[in-house]
Amino acid sequence: MHTSKDAMTHTLETSNSHPPTPALVLDVPKLEGFVARLQDAVDTHWPNAILSYSFKTNPLPWLIGFMRDRGLWAEVVSDTEYQLAIALGYTPEHIIYNGPIKSHQQLWSALREGSIINLDAKREVSWTAEFATRMPDASLAVGLRVNWDLEAYCPGQSTSGLEHSRFGFNAENGELDAAIQELNAAGVRIAGLHMHRNSATQSVDVYRAAATVAAEIITSRGLTLDYLDIGGGFYGSMDGAPTFHDYIAAIRKGVGNTLDIRNTTLILEPGGSLVAVPVEMHASVIDVKSVC
């Protein structure tokens, strides 16, 4: 018996059967709830904030469109992700461009088009200084990712243990200062610090520490920032602690009086904390084998 494609589609839509697998299944009301709770937390503790969605967490186009339509910016870490954001309707000025593998061409384009850029490799610093000579009348401004010692502030919290992170410019051995000096010499302003570190637990202390270190760097280097990018890595749950309010309040406490939150934007880059609970991966068992 022949069944048309339209008839098969209608059968799937009207029956109680599961969708063909493998499939990502999204609980939209839950997803709405997580975004709303995070927005409420920043509105309460740091109203001058930008929420962005981490593409690397899950680049499903529908999911990206959902975040875009609710005002979340795109947070990308590669040329491919940057181009995906453009293809899915983001304008460059609503893209946060992170990661250590930016290409020369894409970095140049993002600088010219007004993206928020956090440099994460020495070549990116040199390229940006080079670009400044091509745009003498422009006022270039970038952020720098900071490599800081999470274990010194929160023992046992770092996913890398006693080994240092591979990302960012070390704030203790002179690399951060060298990057600042090279950029300033080329007329490039340091507009932000990117403080993200992965943590092994749900502890809000990690975020308080990140903000504290940022405050120390701002004070010791005499920086005036447009933004503080705290990254992502938050834990999200339907109930219980810590809540999004706990995290944002801890960040606010960590910076103390160093920053005027009316003039300095807080950037958040959540991924899993928004989608881990509302999104499920469904698969089918096609075979069972005995191996002993």
Q: Of 109, 102, 112, 38, which is closest to residue 72 (Cα–Cα)?
A: 38
Give yes or no for residue 49 having a pLDDT over 60: yes
Give yes or no for residue 10 having a pLDDT over 70: no
Cβ within 8 Å of residue 157, ≥6 positions away: 150, 151, 199, 200, 201, 203, 205, 206
Please provide the average confidence, as pLDDT, over all residues in the chain: 89
More confident residue, 157 or 61: 61
Report pLDDT digits (tens) over 152-178: 777 776 666 556 778 899 999 999 999
pLDDT-derived band at 16, boundaries 50, 70, 90: low
Coil, strand or helix at 96: strand
Cα–Cα dist 99/58, whole Å: 16
For range 189-205, the mean pLDDT: 88
Cα–Cα dist 104/189, whole Å: 19
CA 125, distance to chain mean position in Å, is 20
Write the secondary structure of 207-274 as one string of H (helix), E (strand) and C (coil). HHHHHHHHHHHHHHHCCCCCEEEEECCCCCCCCCCCCHHHHHHHHHHHHCCCCCCCCCEEEECCCHHH
Q: What percentage of the chain exceeds 90 in pLDDT?
A: 77
Please, what is the Cα angle at 198 between 196 and 203, to 5 degrees? 100
Kindly state the helix (H) or strand (E) to which residue 54 belongs, with its residue range.
strand 49-54
**228 forms bridges with which residues in the sheet?**
193, 266
Kindly state the helix (H) or strand (E) to which residue 152 belongs, with its residue range.
helix 150-153
pLDDT-derived band at 137, boundaries 50, 70, 90: confident
Give yes or no for residue 12 having a pLDDT over 60: no
Give yes or no for residue 11 having a pLDDT over 70: no
**75 forms bridges with which residues in the sheet?**
54, 96
pLDDT for the residue 135: 82
Give yes or no for residue 4 having a pLDDT over 60: no
Cβ within 8 Å of residue 142, ≥6 positions away: 111, 117, 118, 119, 128, 183, 188, 189, 190, 191, 192
More confident residue, 1 or 62: 62
pLDDT-derived band at 139, boundaries 50, 70, 90: confident
pLDDT for the residue 17: 62
Question: Which residue reads 């010791």 in tokens?
Answer: 220
Is residue 161 a contact partner of residue 197, using CB atoms and an 8 Å limit? no
Give yes or no for residue 41 having a pLDDT over 80: yes
Give yes or no for residue 31 having a pLDDT over 80: yes
Report pLDDT digits (tens) over 251-285: 999 999 999 999 999 999 999 999 999 999 999 99
pLDDT-derived band at 198, boundaries 50, 70, 90: confident
Paired tokens of 137: 């009348």
pLDDT for the residue 159: 64
Give yes or no for residue 244 having a pLDDT over 80: yes
